[in-house]
Each structure stands twice: as structure tokens, then as C-alpha cells.
Structure 1
Amino acid sequence: MEPWQLTAAAAAAKLQDGSLTAEALTRSCLERCAEREPITKALVFLDAELAIRNARRVDKAYAKGVLHGLPLGVKDMIDTADMPTTHNSPLYAGLQQGRDAACVGVARGEGAVVFGKTDTVEFAAAGRRALTRNPHDVTRTPGGSSSGSAAAVAEGMVPIAFGTQTGGSTIRPASFCGVYAMKPTHGVVNSEGAKRYSHTLDTIGWYGRSPADLHLVARAFRLFGTEAPVAKSVGGLRIGLCRGPHWNIAAPESQEAVLTAAKRLEAAGAVVEDMVLPDAFDEISRAHHIVLHGEGRGAFLQEFLAAPGLLHQDFHDRALNKEGITPRDMVWAYDHAAACRRLFDAVFPGYDAVLTPAAAGEAPVGRQDTGNPIFNSMWTLLHVPCIGIPCITGPNGVPVGVQIIGPRMGDAALLDVAAAVAPVVDAA
């Protein structure tokens, strides 16, 4: 096995005991990039000499952090001190801020090797699409907006990578690319230094190839309770099967993934029960849409005024409030979201986790359609932690995943559940 083939957790064990160096792992990832990047196009910035210098610096460190020696892909709307942050926008071509975003600073402080920048939808919002292709079928999207991050982890270019989620931009690409992903509770990871779209919704997330990989990054961010993981068995877990208000939109393969995961869990001893959300959740996606576009007005106003000729029409529409959102709409959406958060929290501790679709179906053909976020946006608005788990292969031979959900601030417990259920759900 080549070092690039190791999961982050497996590599971390070797890096900690000294049987693998950061430089050796980085060089292996660079070799993998040389092979696959011309095809997948996951990266927008990669300086091999810089990556090796970063790895050597880590190898010289006196103390070994949680992420010691692990090459990290960083979504190209998150600032890195030693690399450009272009936001996939002609406004910011070559921009280098000279300081790390908070999440990058934490990762670097815990020993990660900042490896390169991954492609994204413009401003992680709309407009221009990433050039990235799905590693399982290059005619299809890897999802968006964290397109390059999900694809880079799926290809073995890096063992971990940062994404962000404002609608469905972390969990949906994980489903399309067949990797694991975590969107933590909103606000537990400092988003300073990442392009702002919606302060109510924007959440830093991450990718790996196992639940243990996700747990490593969670530990680096000191998520509550992650310092003492609890080993759980599938037998005895109570899982709520939540079709949600948009089940009719789910393609047959997405419905199959959820029902297959439920059957596998039941066969392994878990208790799986249908869970019906209160009627208030019928309006949760409308509330998300209002918040997204209402807060997005201000998020892109600076660019609209400074360089309108370089700004995609999507952002003109946001700055000019094409949706016609009113102050009354915003107040209703904020209040509705708050009420639904309390309703969803009340589901626990009756369940250990909620099982639901991760995407509307397989990855669409082409780059323009990055997939419908309808099965992610409600959870983003609810501020709850979500973990994406690969499950089945769809009718066109590409992955279809599921996601498990926990209550707000229940990140550690959800990671414990993921560690137990993943070998059952991801049985391929």
C-alpha cells in the first residue's frame, strides 16, 4: 500500500509513532496528484516545493499535534497565508491575504501540512462552477460548492480537506464522490477568514475516508466531548428514519440508499423507527431560502459596487434583491427556524441519530448542475451536526450516500454513532 492510500486515521498512527514522515506522505500525495489531477481537476493551486517545505517544517516540530503530518486540502474561498485565495472569481485572481483563516490556523497549529487549494463554485455560492470532475465518472459533477475538496479526498490526493456548507455544499458532494463528510453544529468552528455568504448558515466542514478521519479533525477543533470517544455497538442503537418533507423529490436511488441503510442497521441489531417531523417542517426549506438570499444581499454588495462588470449575474441578482425579500419575510424565517430547532432537539434523546437522504440522487451529468441541496438545506438552517456516509452504487455506477443527523451540540455523540454504523451502512 502506498502512503496516499492510507486513511487519515491510519496515516496519523504511523506519523505519531514515527514509521511514516510528513514529507514521505506528502510526496506520495504529490505523486497521486500527478497521476489524477489532469483528469479530475480538483486543485486550483498546488506548489509541490511549498507543500514539501510545509511537510519538512512539520517533521521538525518538537510536539506532534492531532493532525501531525496529514496533507490538507483547503477550499479556495478559505484564506491561506502562503497560497492564493481566488474564490473562483475573476475579481480575486491571484489574491493572497497573507494570513490563515481561523480553521486553517487551527489545522496548521495541530500539525497539518497545508497542501493546496481545492476548486469551488464561485464564492462557494453561485456563478461560475468548478472545473472539477467526479472521480467515478468524469462526465458528472462532483457536487458543489466544495467540489474539489470532495473529489481530492475521493482520489487520494489528500487524506482530509475542508469544505463549507451554506445549503448542501459539504454533505452532497460527499454522497456524489463516495467519501465521508461532517458538517458540525453551526458556530462550533470559527469561520473567520472564509468568504461570508450567510452568517446564519455558513459552516466549516471537512472530508475524510472513514469516520475516524472525521473524528481527528473534530478533535483538532476541540468539539465538545471529542476528547473521550465512546465505543458504541450497532445493537441497541435507536435510529429515526426521516423521509422528511421532500421525500417525493428523492430519486429512486436516493430512496433506495436510505431504505437499504435502514435494513442493514436492523439486521445488525439496531432499532429503526419511522420518524415523522411536525407540520412546521413543511415550511423549513422556504425559511432557508429566505435567509440565504436575504443575507446574501449584503454578502456580495461590496463586489457588486466595486467591480460589477466582473461579477456573475447571479450575484447581481442577490445584491439587487431579485427575490423581493422583505424585512417581514426575514423576521418570519428567523422565528420559524428557531421554533423548528426546538422541535427537532426534542426528538432527542429518544434517538441516537436520525437517518435521512444525503442528496436527491446520483451526481448529475455535466458541471453546471451541481445537484439539488433540498435534502441538506433544512439541516443547515437547523444548525445540527450532519455526517455523510457512503452507502450504495446508483443505476449509473456512481455513489449514493446517506446522512445521519444529531441534535445541536451533539457532534461527539454523532461521531460515536458514525463509527458504529459506518461498517454496516457502507458495506460495499
Structure 2
Amino acid sequence: MESNRLSATQAVERLARRELSAEQLLRDCLAHIEAREPIVQAWTARDADAALQHARELDRSPIRGVLHGLPFGVKDVFATHDLPTSCGSAIYAGHRPPADAAAVALCRQAGAIVAGKTVTTEFASYQPGPTRNPNNPAHTPGGSSSGSAAAVADYMVPFALGTQTAGSIIRPAAYCGVVGYKPSLGLIQRAGLKTIADSLDTIGGFARTVDDVALFASVMMGDARLCDLAYDGRPRIGFYRASHWPNTEECVQEAGALAASALSGAGARIEEIDLPPVLAALAQAQADIMAVEMAQSLAYEHGRYRDRLSDALLAVLDAGTRVSAAEHQANLQRVQDGRAQVERWFEQYDVLLVPSATGEAPLYESGTGDPIFCRMWSALGTPCVHLPFHTGPRGLPVGLQAIGRRDDDRRTLAIARWMLGVLRPGQ
């Protein structure tokens, strides 16, 4: 097996034992990128020579950290001192920040190697980039972390950084068939990230296993406890279909039934739960909060470069300027009230199990998909882990997401790992 197909945790174990060199792992990744990039188009900037030089330096040095020698992709909204950061916009084409974003710097300090910058939608919003779904290039990989999800799904790198404001980690993970992890809001430092909505923006990432996303998160959070996801309990799982359940494709409903049967058979207690009406409105509140804060965060670009923004982004920014301060504060209060109600759920359940997306990845021409099943959780700031385990009628990936109590990320990841082991045994 080519080393680029190893999971991050498998690779780091071999790297630590010097059974695999950082240079060889990176060369296998780069060779696969060269072969597949014309189809997948996951990358926007790469410097193979610099990355290989870094790999050779790591091979000559003592083990630097828990990510020693692991290549990773960086969504092009994170500043990198040695690669351009364009944020998916022609406005910033060729822009060279003077320093790395904090998340990137922490990964490098732990020994990881930046393989390149991955494609993002325009300012991590709605206008798609060129990336295609590696399972079928006629379909979208989702957005906004499109390149990161596709690069991991196509075995180009074992991990890639992403961000989520509405559904930009969980939905691409669902469409591409990889594990996606959106941590609790605020657990990973956002310095050096091109933020668009301060109340919502969350850094996370993509990998092929739950252990892998936890490994990188442990570095960015400074929390070594995430490297131990042992769990031997019988989780209490609340299965929430959501008010949008009738709009889901049959394959999502099948995934729900399969998961309920398999997990209960493995010892979990699963109960269906209903959403209080006040929480059902949080999806719209999230959309309005996002529009207001995007209009504020992108005020410079909106004012000076309006003619260089897409119609889709302009519509959101213009809408955000029309929301009054009183309406915005009311939406923020709705979210606060919702957090208190959801806390009471977690007195009864260890995790919630909900859809990640409405169905299989749509055709590329139809856009990056609907984030409706992610909006509420992004507003609430809860940890979310996409679990890929099913396939739809078009042969594209389908799964569900595990939602945990805010700031209880280790337990959420541990239970998600247990669940995926049941749902996708032997993988």
C-alpha cells in the first residue's frame, strides 16, 4: 500500500519508529496529487521543493512532536508565510501574509509539513471554486472547505484544515465520505484566519478516522487528552430527525435506520427526540447572524471591490446591511436561550445523532449544497463529528453527524469513534 493511503495515526507511528521517512510519505502524496489534481482540482498553491526540503530536515532531526513528518493541507483562508493566501477571491490573488495563522504554526511546530493551500469558496461563503468531488467529478465536494475535504477523500494528504460558519466542514465531509470534525466554538485559536462571522467561525478539519482528527486537534487545542479516545460505555444517543427530515433523500433516511439498528444492537440506548419550537428557529437566526457579521467583516472588500465580488456573496452582504442592530441582538439572544435548552438535552443524552446533509452530493453545476442540517449546531457552538458509513443510489457517500455538549469535545470524539467502529467495522 502506498504510504499516502495510511491514516494520520498509522503514518505517525511508522514515522516515529523510522520505518517510514517523512520524505517518502510526502513524495507519495505529491505523486498522487500530480496524478489526480487535473480531475479533482483541490489545490490553489503548492511548493513541492520547499515541502520536500522540510521533510528531509525532519528526517535528519529528532522527533519534533506528535505530528512529526505528516503532510497536511491548509484551507486558503489561513495565513501562511510561505504560500499565497487568496481567500478564494481575485482581490487577494498572490497575497503573501508575513506570518502563519496560529493553527498552521502550531501544526508546523509539532512537526507537520504544509503540502499546500486547498481551494475554498469565495471568502468561505457561497461561490464555488473549481474543486470536484473525487468520488465522481460531476458532483460538488460541498463548501466552503471544498479542497480540504476532497484532498483527504482522494488520499492526497491524511489531514486538512477547514473552517465552519454554517456547514463548511460537516457537509463537505458528508459529500466526500471522510470524517469531519467541527470543535466547540472557540477551542482553537483563530489568529491569522480570515474571519467572516465572529460569533460562528470555527476551525476544524478532515481526516480518514476519528483518531486522526483528534490527533491534529490535540495540537491546535494544546490538549493531549484528545489522543486517548478509549470508551467502553453504552452511550445514550438522542436521534433527532429535525423538522427538515421530510426533505431528505431516501438514502439519508436509510442511514438513520441502519445506524439506529446497529448502535442499539451494540449496546447503545437510542431514543428519538423532538425539537422545541424555539430551537427550530435557530437555523434562520444563524443565517441572519452570519449575513450581518459577514457584512461587517468584509466591509472593506464590499465597499472598495464590489465589482469583484460574486453576485451570490453580494446578495448576502447587502442583506446583512439591512438587518438592524436590534434584530441582530435579538438573534444573538435566541442563540443564547437555545444553548440553555440544549444543555438540558445533554443531561439525558451523551450525544445526539442527526443528518449531516440532505442527501448525496448534488451535481457541481447546482452549487455546494444546502447547509440546513448544520446551521443550528454552528450557532450553538457544539462539537460535531461527521461519520461516513453509507452509500446512496448514485454511489456517493452518505453519513450522519454526532453532536456533543459544548466544550465536552473529548467525550464527543470518543463516542463518535465508538459509533464509527460499529457502523464501519474493520475500516
**Which category describes the TM-score, using the shorter chain as reference length?**
over 0.9
Cα deviation 1:75-112 (Å, max 9, x = unaligned): 01111111011112111111111210111011111111
**2:165 aligned partner:** 166
The CA distance in 1 between the partners of 2:176 and 2:226, in whole Å, is 29
**2:251 aligned partner:** 253
Report the residue type matching 1:420 in the other structure.
Answer: W
SS in 2 for 1:258: helix
The CA distance in 2 between the partners of 1:160 and 1:51, in whole Å, is 15
The CA distance in 2 between the partners of 1:334 and 1:315, in whole Å, is 22
The CA distance in 2 between the partners of 1:87 and 1:423, in whole Å, is 36
TM-score calculated relative to the size of structure 1: 0.96
RMSD: 1.6
- Listed as ranges, the matches of 1:193-212 within 5 Å are 193-212=192-211
The CA distance in 1 between the partners of 2:411 and 2:320, in whole Å, is 41
**1:232 aligned partner:** 231
| Aligned residues of 1:223 and 1:411 also touching (Cα < 8 A) | no
1:340/1:357 CA distance change after superposition, 3 Å: same
- Listed as ranges, the matches of 1:255-404 within 5 Å are 255-321=253-319, 324-404=322-402
Cα deviation, residue 182, structure 1: 0.4
Cα deviation, residue 262, structure 1: 1.4
| Aligned residues of 1:188 and 1:223 also touching (Cα < 8 A) | no
1:367/1:164 CA distance change after superposition, 3 Å: farther
1:318/1:279 CA distance change after superposition, 3 Å: closer
Cα deviation 1:29-82 (Å, max 9, x = unaligned): 011111111111111112211221222233344343111111010001111111
1:368/1:107 CA distance change after superposition, 3 Å: farther
Report the residue type matching 2:188 in the other structure.
Answer: V
Report the residue type matching 2:231 in the other structure.
Answer: K
- Deviation >6 Å, runs of 4+: none
Q: How many residues align?
A: 426
User: Is 2:132 the partner of 1:137?
Assistant: no
- More displaced, 142-151 or 210-219? 210-219
1:112/1:399 CA distance change after superposition, 3 Å: same
1:397/1:323 CA distance change after superposition, 3 Å: farther
Question: Any gaps of 5 or more consecutive residues in structure 2?
Answer: none
Cα deviation 1:136-162 (Å, max 9, x = unaligned): 111000000110100000111000000
TM-score calculated relative to the size of structure 2: 0.96
SS in 2 for 1:226: helix
- More displaced, 381-390 or 18-27? 18-27
- More displaced, 412-421 or 355-364? 412-421
The CA distance in 2 between the partners of 1:273 and 1:315, in whole Å, is 40
Over the matched positions of the two proteins, sequence identity in percent amounts to 39
User: Is 2:94 the partner of 1:87?
Assistant: no
Cα deviation, residue 350, structure 1: 2.1
| Aligned residues of 1:85 and 1:96 also touching (Cα < 8 A) | yes
1:178/1:21 CA distance change after superposition, 3 Å: same
Cα deviation, residue 315, structure 1: 3.6
**2:175 aligned partner:** 176
Question: Any gaps of 5 or more consecutive residues in structure 1?
Answer: none
| Aligned residues of 1:184 and 1:204 also touching (Cα < 8 A) | yes
- More displaced, 269-278 or 285-294? 269-278
Cα deviation 1:371-409 (Å, max 9, x = unaligned): 100001110000000001102100111001110010010
| Aligned residues of 1:300 and 1:315 also touching (Cα < 8 A) | no
**2:106 aligned partner:** 106
